[in-house]
Amino acid sequence: MTNKGYTEGLAELREVRDEIKPLTRQLAKLQAELAKLEAQRDRKIVELGAFEKAKADRLATSAGVSVIDVVALVPALGPQGPASAPAEPAPARSAAEAPAEPQTAAQSINEVAGAPTPDLPAATQPAVGEQAPSTDAAENHDQEQELAAPAEPSAPSMPAPASAASVPGEEQKRTLPSIPEGPAGDGWFRAEQGLASKRPNFKQATRQMAFLDTGSGVLVWQGGAVTLELGRASVAEILTAVYATVPAAVERIYVTAGDPWHQNAGGHQFLKDAVAEWLNGPLPEGWQVESSRGKDRQAGHLVHPRNPVGRWQRGADQHTEIRSAGEWFDPEGADPATVRAAFVELWKALHRHWDDVVLMGSPSQTGRDLWSRTIPAKAGAKWADGYPVMSQEIRGLLHATAGQGRTELIVPPRVAERVPGWFEADRTFAYAKHTWSSGVGVPRRVTASAFAAMSEKEQSNALFSPSHWQVRVTIPKGWEHVGLLPAPAPGERAWHYPYEGGRTFVTWAGGAEVNVALRNPLQPWRIEILDGLVWEKGDPLKDWSAKLKDAWRSLRALAEFHGDEQQRQAARLASRAVRSILLYGIGTFAQRPRITTGSVVLGAGGEVPEIPDGARLTGLTDTHATWERNAGFARDPYAHPEWAAGVWSAARAALLDGPTSSKDPQSGKPLRAGALHLPAGAILAFRTDAVYSSVRPEWPYGGEPGDFLLKGAMPWEQPTPTSDEEFYVLQRLGRQAVEAEGL
């Protein structure tokens, strides 16, 4: 640029400045007027909300705001107890549930002093959930993108909170439940009568599938491929065009690209409202929302913001679902033919281990069905009569006290405002690492007094068993690293990780995490046992997981060596589907309270008709109101939250410290990795199975489940992210840098 060009550019810049100034003044005036009107509206909402017959939905419709906004202004109009978010997309409408069993009220733990844990030696045995070094042969695993973990569960209203000691002056805003004293609490330790996980004696029905890109109109199914004219890709247009082409026997339509349910997202404050509007749009003549169900067919719609499920029927015999392929994997721009090929390769890889495999609607359904077909069936075999389901009280306790993946963003002043680099280390196929051993049967209770009466060896054995402990934790003075144990944070389902030296708090944690706190490579924490659940060791997930790992390995090899690019891509996608089957299959064992959703058509003048008892409104459009209801715990024969909790705890512990598949050439022992093997102040974030740091982790990667893979790297100065938005920008850039530069 010349001096003349620069001078002319400055003149142009001043002209733009002069045009902006009056517009800025106008905008400020409009914003002031808008703020005044909004304040007037809010005052009116509060005034009308005081009326004894006031309803949030009516006020929201009249004010032009969401129900959530109304409830924020008039909390009395909100639900008395928040509905819990399911870990997996729950059925849109559930079948009638058995009446909930009466539950004994939980009690505080004030009166019981904790029993200190023994001083444990250096690790000579694997922590709970870790694979013994000699158990598995080496497996070839490549990079795998970590799926987002489901939202943390909220605590049920059943148990009373435990008391917690904390730093003076600090308010404990959410506490966790405890087990009642004496016989009342001991009564929780039982199996549900007549409820056990047994091997099924039937084969799932096969559903024919079609794959549709709603952007391009390309439709692919077993009979061929065509390009459809879909208009705006409404439900009516899709059903009409697809079933003018494919036979009625096609019962699942997977949308591979286009996300038609988001087409009107700009007109709504929340994505779920846009999805509900799309699902509830007009239907072709003869079609209606699904109203019947079979063994693996659910009725009604699932209003999920990104992966919704719509279910419809025509007459009595034709049924169909429109689902997102994103439930299984990110298609990454693959065309429908490639996505269909991925499902074919997935079925072939699974069929080598399960002769009766059927791909169901979602990976979670498929995972649980495949697991059920690994339950021992031979007469006389242990657990051939089924794995018992624990009492509703214990399931509720685990639901309230066993979190999922660790999600934490560490911001200044804990870390510097600018850091020398950005590195993402992600654990490959992490959950598969922690399925070799799980608790089975009814747990035994270990109270503080019972733990104190044990010998040191018995205490150590209990801590290394599959277990879940209520503990009083004291962080050593001078501690400078990240927190090790989850604790309840303010909010209904939040967890945080206290790290301040000298702080004391009460929480629940799995045996794997308790062991890391006691045996970490930096400085042991003080742990007092207040109560605990200890299970018999078993391997209910091992066979299932081993078969899935083998299928994943074979698909990764196919993705690397196949001569056809489309088949390589299909195999890569299929390998990710296997990972989803294991990840979300584990999530189904948690069996949280079921959330049912539905929608009703608005009456004349926008009036909301009756919704089911106990339901709360979650969204309003011009034509429909959407609701959801907490249906409580079902009598589910596959409810094993102890298995999900054990895997989650072990995975969180391994983020901090765990063995790799590589051996130390000097000692022959596995080399260890995790956040505690990086400098204090270098950790920037945790996301489920990934550690983000400002220094490059020099951890060996052997391709085994649980090994840390360098997934993102920018070895130059970066501003420290202080929000999720800034974090995800750096995450994306770091991954792009690795892909482009091979850093």
- Structure confidence by residue, pLDDT tens digits, 587-598: 999 876 666 666
Average pLDDT over residues 156-168: 38
- 690 and 426 in contact (C-beta within 8 Å)? yes
Instruction: Tell me: pLDDT of 372 over 80.
Output: yes
Q: What is the mean pLDDT of residues 383-401?
A: 92
Of 64 and 393, the structure prediction assigns the larger pLDDT to 393
Mean pLDDT of 573-579: 96
Rounded to 5 degrees, φ, ψ at 577 are: -65, -40
Strand positions, DSSP E, 391-459: 406-409, 418-419, 422-427, 438-445
pLDDT at 235 over 80: yes
Structure confidence by residue, pLDDT tens digits, 523-533: 999 999 999 99
User: What ranges do the domains of the chain cover?
Assistant: 21-77, 208-327
As given in the structure block, the two tokens for residue 610 are 């009756």
Alpha-carbon distance 120 to 128, whole Å?
Answer: 14
User: DSSP E strands: which ranges in 539-615?
Assistant: 595-601
List Cβ neighbours of 297 (8 Å cut-off, separation of 6 or more).
290, 319
Alpha-carbon distance of 694 to 718, in angstroms, equals 9
**Spatial separation of the C-alpha atoms in residues 393 and 713, rounded to whole Å:** 46
Q: Tell me: the pLDDT tens digits for 174-214?
A: 788 999 998 999 999 999 999 999 999 898 999 999 999 99
Structure-model confidence comparison of residues 50 and 106, the more confident one = 50
Instruction: Report pLDDT for 409.
Output: 96
Highest mean pLDDT among 90-104, 267-281, 319-333 belongs to: 319-333
- Residue 605 pLDDT: 61
Q: For the chain, give the percent of residues with pLDDT over 90.
A: 58
pLDDT of res. 269: 84
| Predicted confidence (pLDDT) per residue in 71-99, tens digit | 677 767 754 333 333 333 333 333 333 33
* pLDDT band with cut points at 50, 70 and 90 for residue 491: low
pLDDT of residue 84: 35
pTM for this prediction? 0.74
Residue 674 pLDDT exceeds 50: yes
Per-residue pLDDT at 601:
73
Q: Which fold has domain 21-77?
A: Arc Repressor Mutant, subunit A (1.10.10)
CA distance 267 to 619: 13
More confident residue, 634 or 726: 726
Q: Which of 694, 693, 690 is nearest to 706 (CA)?
A: 690
**19 torsion bin: left (phi>0), alpha (psi -120 to 50), beta (else):** alpha
Q: How far apart are the first and last CA of the chain?
A: 35
How far is residue 206's CA from residue 74's CA, in Å, rounded to a whole number?
49
Check residue 130 and give its pLDDT. Answer: 45
The predicted structure's pLDDT at residue 617: 73
Q: How confident is the model over 119-140, as pLDDT tens digits?
A: 654 444 444 444 433 333 323 2
Instruction: Give the chain's radius of gyration (CA, Å).
Output: 28
Across the chain, mean pLDDT equals: 83
687-723, pLDDT tens digit by residue? 999 999 999 999 999 888 899 999 999 999 999 999 9
Q: Which residue has the higher pLDDT, 83 or 2?
A: 2
Task: Give me the pLDDT at residue 104, please.
Answer: 39
More confidently predicted of 535 and 182: 535
Nearest to 739 by CA among 145, 141, 140, 139: 145
Q: What is the pLDDT of residue 378?
A: 86
Indicate if the pLDDT at residue 68 is higher than 80. no
Which has the minimum average pLDDT: 78-92, 294-308, 387-401, 657-671?
78-92
Residue with tokens 């065509």: 226
Residue 393, token pair as written in the block:
């009280």
